[in-house]
Amino acid sequence: MPELKPILLVEDNPKDIELTLAALEQSQLANEVVVVRDGAEALDFLYRRGEHASRNTSDPAVVLLDLKLPKVDGLEVLEKVKADAILRHTPVVMLTSSREESDVVRSYELGVNAFVVKPVGFREFFDAIQDLGVFWAILNEPPPRNGGQ
Amino acid sequence: MNAGTTMPDLDLTACEQELIHIPGSIQPHGFLLSIRLPDTAVIHASANAASILGLEPDAVLGRTLMEVLPELAADLDADLRDMNPKGGSHYLRTVALDRSTGRRSFDVAVHRSGGYAVLELEEVNGAAASLDALNPNLRQFVEQLGGTSTTESLCRLAAADVRRLTGFDRVLVYRFDENWNGTVIAEDRNENLPSYLDLRFPASDIPAQARELYRRNRLRIIPNADYIPVPIQSHDPAPLDLSDSLLRSVSPVHLEYMRNMGTMASMSISILRDGELWGLISCHSKEPRRVPLQVRNACDFLTQIFSLQLEARENTALAEKRIRLRSVQARLLGYMAAEEFFIDGLVNHPAELMHLVGAEGVAIVSGDFCWILGQTPSEQHIRKLAAWLSQHHPEDLFATDALSALYPDARDYIDRASGLLSISISKVRASYVIWFRPEVVQTVKWGGDPSKSVRAEAGAPRLHPRRSFEIWKETVLGRSLPWDVSEIEAAGELRNAAVGIVLRRAEELAALSDELRRSNKELEAFSYSVSHDLRAPFRHIVGYSELLKKHEGSTLSERGLRYVDTIIESALTAGTLVDNLLSFSQMGRTTLKPRLFDASQMVREVKHSLAMEIGDRKVRWNIADLPAATADPLLIRLVFENLMSNAVKYTRPRDEARIDVGSYRKNGEIVFFVRDNGVGFDMTYVDKLFGVFQRLHRMEDFEGTGIGLANVRRIVERHGGRTWAEGAIDKGATFSFSLPDIEGAA
C-alpha cells in the first residue's frame, strides 16, 4: 500500500477549520490533514520553502482551498498551482462561502478541479466535505508524475 | 412668390434689360459738361451746351473749363476737394452767366462719374427758391412730425408737405412689398388727377435696375413727358455713366407710361430704410412742371427726416411687440422647464403658445405623438404636413402666409391653415411645433390690369406699358395675414430654448446614468461581501449546534434539544435569506441573453418540476396556447417558476386547486398571467407584493422569504415589461407580467 498522501486544507477561519476537521474525521479517512492559514503559507507548503522547507510529507492528495484568504487569496494560489508544470496535477477544490458567479467562472478558467459552495446546513456541509475527501484522497488516481517521487 | 394672385403669364422682363444708366442723352431743361480731372478738359457736352454758353458748336469739346465756363472754373478746385466721391450729385451754387444771348442764372450740381467731374446746370426761372425761403416749410414739417402717432398719418403729412413745397397735382406715398409690388398708402392731391390711394402697382412698373438707380440717386424729375432728348456729344466712344445724373434722360417706355397715366410731369423721391428701398414719394402733375433744384433738395431733406421718423416709429412698435412676446415666451420657458417632458409645458398652456405668434391654431407633432388645438387641419392632415415639412423644409424655422401655393394638399384646409409657422425641435424624432393662421380674403385694387401689352410697331415688336389705369380688382385667396418679424423671432427663440432644454435633459440623463452605474457597482460590492461574510456565521451556528447535539445530545433535556433545533432552523433560514438576497442582486446585474423561445413548452416544463411540491394534492391546470416571445429564457423561466409555485402554494387550503396560465396581446405588449383560486390577498397591500422581503402571510401559514416576486419584477422590468397583480382575500389571485411584443410589432 502506497504511502497515504495528506490533505491540505487552506482556511483562515478557525471555526471553519474545526468544522471541516470534524467532518473529515467523521469520514474516517486515514490521510493526515495539514492545515495552513493563508495563501502565502499554502504556497510555502507546496513549494517546500520557508517554514515548510524541510517537510517530509508527500505532496497533497488534494488541496481544499478557501477563496477568501489573507495575504495571497485563493484564486492567486490556484493560478500559481495550475501554472506550475509539476504542481498542476495536484487536484484543487475551491471552497467558498458564496455562489458569486464571477468567482466560479474565474476558478474554472484557472483550471480548478471542483468548486464547492459551503452550505449553511451542517449536514450538507459534512456530506460535501466527506465526499470531497473520499473522492480525492482515495478514489482518484492521480496521473503519474514526471519527477517520479 | 405672389401666391394667391393670378398674374397673366407675360414676359415683362424686357424693361429689365434696358441700359437706363447710359442713355447717351439728357432732358432739355438743363445742360451737361463732363470735365476730365485734373486738366479740366471738357470730354462730354450735351448738344445744347454750346448755344447756352454762347460758343460755336465745336468750341466746347476739348477746351478747358476756364475757356468755356470761367464763372465756375475759378473756384472749382476747392469745390472738388470738398466732394465726396461716392456722395452722388450735390448742389454747388447758383451762377449767373453773362453771354451775348443775355444774362441767365443757373443752379449748378456736380457729381463724379469715373475719372470725370460731371457738371449739370439748370436755369433758374424768376425768383429762385432759396434755402432760406424753404426753411419755414421744413421747420413746420418737423414740428408736425411730433404730433403724428401712426405710420399712416406720418405718410399723409409727408405727402401734403411735399405737395405744398412743389405744387404738384398729386403726391403719393408708395410702399413696396416683399415682391416689389407697390401700394399707395397715402395721398395728397387736387382735382386735376384721379385718386390712386390703396391701388397696387405691379413690380414690373419699376424694374430692378431702376430700383437700383433709385437707391443710389434719391430724387428724379421729369418736367415734361413730351421732351425731346438732348444727345451727349463726345470724341470719346465710351458712353458716360449717368447713374448719379439729375438730367438723365429716361426710358421711352417710362414716358409712354406717364402719358398713359395722364401725367406730363413727375418727380419721385426714394424712401430708404437701412440703405434699402422701402418706398417712394411719387409726385405727378397733369401739365408739365419744373421744380427748382433747391426745392427738390428741400424735398429730399424732408424725405430723409420722414424716413428716419418712419424707421423710429416702426422700430418702437416692433420693440414694444417684442417685449410683449418676450414675456409670453418667458412664461412658456418656465412651463417647459418645470415639466419632465418639456412638450407638456406647451400642451398645458395652449393660449400662451398661440399668443406667442398670434396664431389661431397650433399642433405639436413628435414621433407618434400629435396634439392639436384651435383652428387646425385634421390630425391626419397634420401628420402628412409634418412629413412634407421634414422632406422639403429641413430648416429650423419655416414660415409662409400662402401654404397652399407651396403644398397643394393644403387647399383642402385653406380656411384654417393658409398661414403656417413651424419650428423643428428635434431632427431625430421629427418633432415640430406648427402654428396656423386662417385665410384672409383680400381684395387688391390694381392700378390697371397689371400687364403690359406688346404691340407690333413698324414691324418690330416693342414693349408698351398699359394704356388704362382703371382700377382692376382682384380677389386674393389662400393667404393669411403675414407673420411679422417679431413673431418669427419669438418662434425661433422658443425653438432655441426647447433645443436647449432637450440638450440639458440629455446631459442630466447622462450624469444620472453615471451616478447609477457607480451606485450599482457599490451595491454589487456590498452584496458580495454580505453574502460571503454573513453566510459564514450562520454556517458556524448550524455547525456547532449540530456538533453539540451529536456529542452532548444524550445529556440534554428534551427542551434543551428543542432549543438547539430551533437555533439550527433559525440559522438555516437566515442563511437562505442571504442566499436569496445575493441571487436577487445578481438578477439585476447579469447580462440579458434574449432569444425567441416557446412559452408553452416552458410552462409545461415548469409544471412538471412542481410535481413534487404538489404531492398528492388535487390541482387542475388549465394552460392555454402561449405565444413565442423574445426574452432571456433562463430568467423568464424563473418568473414562471415563481408565479406557478406561488399559485400551488397559496391554493394549498383548497380541496381542488385551479390554476390557469394564459396570455393576450395588447398595446404592443404580450401579457402572460397566472390565475389561481387560492387564498388571495387584500388589494390594500398590492403595492407591497413585489417588494423585497415583503410578505402578506404569516410564516406558519405559508413559508417563504419574500424574495420571489421581487425577482419576478426585476427580471420583467429588465426586459422592458411590467408586473401587476389582482386579487381579493379568499377569492384567488391573478399575477400578470408583460413583455414588449417584438414579434407582433414586426
Tell if the CB–CB gap between A19 and B539 is shorter than 8 Å. Answer: yes
Tell if the CB–CB gap between A122 and B539 is shorter than 8 Å. Answer: yes
Tell if the CB–CB gap between A15 and B571 is shorter than 8 Å. Answer: no
Cβ B335 vs Cβ B348: under 8 Å = yes
For residues A104 and B587, give the distance between their C-alpha atoms in angstroms, rounded to a whole number: 16
Q: Taking CB atoms and an 8 Å cutoff, what residues of chain B touch A100? A: 528, 531-532, 582
Q: Please report the ipTM that was assigned to this predicted complex.
A: 0.77
pLDDT exceeds cutoff 70 at B466: no
Q: Taking CB atoms and an 8 Å cutoff, what residues of chain A touch B528? A: 98, 100
Q: Does the CB of B529 have a partner CB in chain A at under 8 Å? A: no
Q: Which helix (H) or strand (E) holds B454?
A: strand B453-457
CATH code that applies to domain B505-586: 1.10.287
Here the cell at position B370 is 400629435
Q: Does the CB of B535 have a partner CB in chain A at under 8 Å? A: yes
In-domain check, residue A115? yes
pLDDT at res. B59? 87
Q: Report the helix count and the strand count for chain A, using DSSP H and E.
A: 5, 5
Residue type present at position B579: D
**What does the pLDDT average to over B627-636?**
89
Mutation target among B534, B542, B581 for the A interface, most CBs of A within 10 A:
B542
Nearest to A68 among B532, B538, B542 (CB): B532
Which 3-state string (H, E, C) describes B610-654?
CHHHHCCCEEEEEECCCCEEEECHHHHHHHHHHHHHHHHHHCCCC
Strands (E), B568-713: 595-598, 618-623, 628-631, 656-666, 669-676
Helix A122-134 and helix A14-26: axis angle, to 10°? Answer: 60
Q: pLDDT digits over B542-587, tens only? A: 989 988 998 898 999 999 999 999 999 888 888 888 887 777 777 7
Per-residue pLDDT of chain A (149 residues; tens, 9 = 90+): 456 788 899 998 888 899 888 888 877 777 888 999 988 899 999 998 888 888 877 888 889 999 888 888 888 999 999 998 888 888 898 888 776 667 778 888 888 888 888 877 777 777 877 777 777 766 665 555 544 44
Cβ B350 vs Cβ B372: under 8 Å = no
Nearest CA in chain B to A124: B543
Q: pLDDT digits over B89-101, tens only? A: 888 888 888 887 7
Residue type present at position B533: D
Q: pLDDT digits over B115-159, tens only? A: 889 999 998 876 555 666 777 777 888 788 777 777 888 899 999
3-state DSSP helix/strand/coil % of chain A, to nearest 5 = 45, 15, 40
Number of structural domains found in chain A: 1
Tell if the CB–CB gap between B545 and A68 is shorter than 8 Å. Answer: no
Tell if the CB–CB gap between A101 and B532 is shorter than 8 Å. Answer: no
Q: pLDDT digits over B377-423, tens only? A: 999 999 999 989 888 888 889 999 999 999 998 888 988 899 999 99
pLDDT exceeds cutoff 80 at B76: no
SS3 B275: coil
CATH code that applies to domain B591-745: 3.30.565.10
Our measurement of the distance from residue B411's CA atom to the centroid of its chain's CA atoms, rounded to an integer in Å, reads 22
Cβ B170 vs Cβ B193: under 8 Å = yes
pLDDT exceeds cutoff 70 at B15: no
In-domain check, residue A102? yes
SS3 B131: helix
For residues B362 and B354, give the distance between their C-alpha atoms in angstroms, rounded to a whole number: 7
CA distance A99 to chain B (A): 8
Q: What is this structure's pTM? A: 0.53
Cβ–Cβ contacts within 10 Å for residue B87, how many?
A: 11
Nearest to B536 among A22, A97, A101 (CB): A97
Nearest CA in chain B to A19: B543
pLDDT exceeds cutoff 80 at B13: no
For residues B511 and A60, give the distance between their C-alpha atoms in angstroms, rounded to a whole number: 54
CA distances in angstroms from B317 to B307, B321, B488, listed in the order given: 15, 6, 15
In-domain check, residue A145? no
Q: Does the CB of B584 have a partner CB in chain A at under 8 Å? A: no
Q: Give the CATH number for residue A55.
A: 3.40.50.2300
Here the cell at position B206 is 419699376
pLDDT at res. B102? 79
Domain with CATH 3.30.565.10 in chain B: 591-745
Q: Taking CB atoms and an 8 Å cutoff, what residues of chain A touch B547? A: 19, 22, 122
- DSSP assignment, residue B730? T
CA distances in angstroms from B331 to B202, B492, B497, B502, B586, listed in the order given: 43, 16, 12, 18, 47
Here the cell at position B542 is 448550524
> What CATH architecture does domain B25-123 belong to?
2-Layer Sandwich (3.30)
Whether the CA torsion A51, A52, A53, A54 is positive or negative: it is: positive
Q: Taking CB atoms and an 8 Å cutoff, what residues of chain B touch A66? A: none
| Cis ω for the linkage preceding B38 (within 30 of 0) | yes
The boundaries of the domain holding residue A40 are 7-139
Domain with CATH 3.30.450.20 in chain B: 25-123
Tell if the CB–CB gap between B576 and A120 is shorter than 8 Å. Answer: yes
Residue B87's pLDDT band (cuts 50, 70, 90): low
For residues A49 and B5, give the distance between their C-alpha atoms in angstroms, rounded to a whole number: 105
Q: Does the CB of A27 have a partner CB in chain B at under 8 Å? A: no
